[in-house]
Amino acid sequence: MGKRFDSGARTGVVIVGAGPAGLVLGNLLLDQGIDCVILERRRREAVEGRARAGFLAAHSVRVLAQHGLDTGLLARGRTHRTCLFRSEQGEFTLDYGELGRGEVHTVYPQQELVRDLLAEYLRRGGELRFGAEVEEVSEGRVRSRDGSEITGRYVAGCDGHRGVARATLAAQGTRTARWDHGVTWLAVLAEAPPSLAAVGYALHARGFAGHMARTATVTRYYLQCPRGTDPADWSEDRIWSELEMRLRTAEFGALKQGPVLEKTVVDLRSDVLDSPGAGRLWLAGDAAGLISPSAAKGANLAVLQAERLAQALTLALTRDDESGLARYAADCLPRVWRAHEFSHWMSTLLHGPTAEDAEARYGRALQYARLDSLRTSRTHQDFFAENYTGI
């Protein structure tokens, strides 16, 4: 249990949320000698155990390495440089590590990264309070549901898409641009070794299916399903049967099956705040904008924003210079929007219509034309590689 802060306690930066954005930010601020406190509503076990995305782009790995946050990643992370596509036209593999900028991904489950970042933050002397359910942020003052308060010169909202920090900015008039991709995934975590040597994307008339390795014994799968789907309606037998059909195992080999550890439904939606902060409140990660998981950009945007926000807050707190905060939006938003554009493009590639009317047939034909262009055009492949691994 972290320290309980009495009313009136003060620090340099109050960070709301102990996800990747908040923990990277906290570690980078401590690196610069800046006092900070992280308030997290969940228990430590829940924070460290939540299975999420596991693809780190080259920039994210560089940031972690530069600040001594990559020990676990170096020991247990695995480099990925290829992805494969399956459809009724067959299968092809892209070695994106040889294309574009020649960058690769490092596969490292997000819960392991969070455990590393949390342990390092505490080792460096950072203050972290679990079970602190923040209900109000105002002028640098953060009040929790239990009545305790803490004040910082700045507040960093890293408490996610539905957090108090984002709601506070929205109430102050910050506008949001949003998009519903009209797609839903059944996300499945299976205690089963990876069945493919690469990330696998399968296009099928019944909907998209995806295969993403997490560890040597755990694999993430995705199945496109109707909006409003109840995960309880999907038995293990149904999940594996549908995965085998869409991943075309009759043609390319059986899947390595195992118990389903988790199944949840994800509606693919995206949004971006016009400005990620103002005055004494600044946001990073999902609090600043939600991105569809189609291209695995969420955690990488969180690291990018935490890095830039740490630089800006350090300048403000050590030199009384807020020019970095004034530039924070301009530094981040062009990259954020480029990530959103590629994620949206990936969504149109992976998800075709599943109906049988004339418009659906037209939409599926366009989908396969996009895939064929990616298979045959080196220019298209370089574009894909640069944006797939970039941020």
Q: How far apart are CA 303 and CA 20, in angstroms?
A: 7
Q: Is 115 in contact with 48 (CB distance < 8 Å)?
A: yes
Q: Where in the chain is the domain with CATH 3.30.9.10?
A: 181-268+358-389
Is 222 among the residues known to form the active site?
no
In sequence order, what are the residues at sequence separation of 6 or more whose Cβ sits closer than 8 angstroms to the Cβ of residue 107?
54, 55, 56, 77, 78, 79, 80, 213, 214
Q: Which of 105, 276, 293, 328 is catalytic?
A: 293
Q: Which of 96, 121, 154, 388 is catalytic?
A: 388
Q: Which of 96, 121, 201, 222 is catalytic?
A: 201
Is 3 among the residues known to form the active site?
no
Q: Which residues of 84-117 are buried (b: 16+ CB within 10 A; e: fewer)?
A: bbbbeeebeebebbebbeebbbbbbbbbbbbbbb
Q: Where in the chain is the domain with CATH 3.50.50.60?
A: 9-79+106-178+269-345
Q: Is 303 in contact with 59 (CB distance < 8 Å)?
A: yes
DSSP β-ladder status, 78-80 and 55-56: unpaired
Residue 182, helix vs strand vs coil = strand
Residue among 87, 28, 6 at smallest CA distance from 284? 28
Is 293 among the residues known to form the active site?
yes
DSSP β-ladder status, 199-202 and 82-87: parallel
Cα 216-219-222 angle, rounded to 5 deg = 165
CATH class in words for 9-79+106-178+269-345: alpha beta
Neighbours of 172 (CB within 10 A): 11
CATH class in words for 181-268+358-389: alpha beta
Give the alpha-carbon dihedral of 366, 367, 370, 375, to 10 degrees.
Answer: -130
Q: What is the per-residue pLDDT for 44?
A: 95
Q: Which of 20, 80, 328, 340 is catalytic?
A: 80
Find how far residue 156's CA is from the centre of its chain: 18
* Tens digit of each residue's pLDDT (9 = 90 or more) over 74-131: 999 999 999 999 999 999 999 999 999 999 999 998 899 999 999 999 999 999 999 9
DSSP 232: G
Q: Is 130 in contact with 42 (CB distance < 8 Å)?
A: yes
Q: Which of 204, 211, 263, 297 is catalytic?
A: 297
Residue 102, helix vs strand vs coil = coil
Q: What is the per-residue pLDDT for 7?
A: 41
DSSP 125: T
Q: Is 244 in contact with 132 (CB distance < 8 Å)?
A: no
Q: How far apart are CA 166 and CA 268, in angstroms?
A: 19
Cα 127-128-134 angle, rounded to 5 deg = 125
pLDDT tens digits in sequence order for the chain, 391 residues long: 333 334 445 899 999 999 999 999 999 999 999 999 999 999 999 999 877 778 999 999 999 999 999 999 999 999 999 999 999 999 999 999 999 999 999 999 889 999 999 999 999 999 999 999 999 999 899 999 999 999 999 999 999 999 999 999 999 999 999 999 999 999 999 999 999 988 999 999 999 999 998 888 999 999 999 999 999 999 999 999 999 999 999 999 999 999 999 999 999 999 999 999 999 999 999 999 999 999 999 999 999 999 999 999 999 999 999 999 999 999 999 999 999 999 999 999 999 988 889 999 999 999 999 999 999 999 999 999 999 999 7
Residue among 380, 323, 327, 370 at smallest CA distance from 349? 370
| Residues belonging to the chain | 391
Adjacent-strand bridge partners of 156: 15, 282
Neighbours of 151 (CB within 10 A): 19
Q: What is the per-residue pLDDT for 9?
A: 59
Q: How far apart are CA 364 and CA 369, in angstroms?
A: 9
* Tens digit of each residue's pLDDT (9 = 90 or more) over 261-310: 999 999 999 999 999 999 999 999 999 999 999 999 999 999 999 999 99
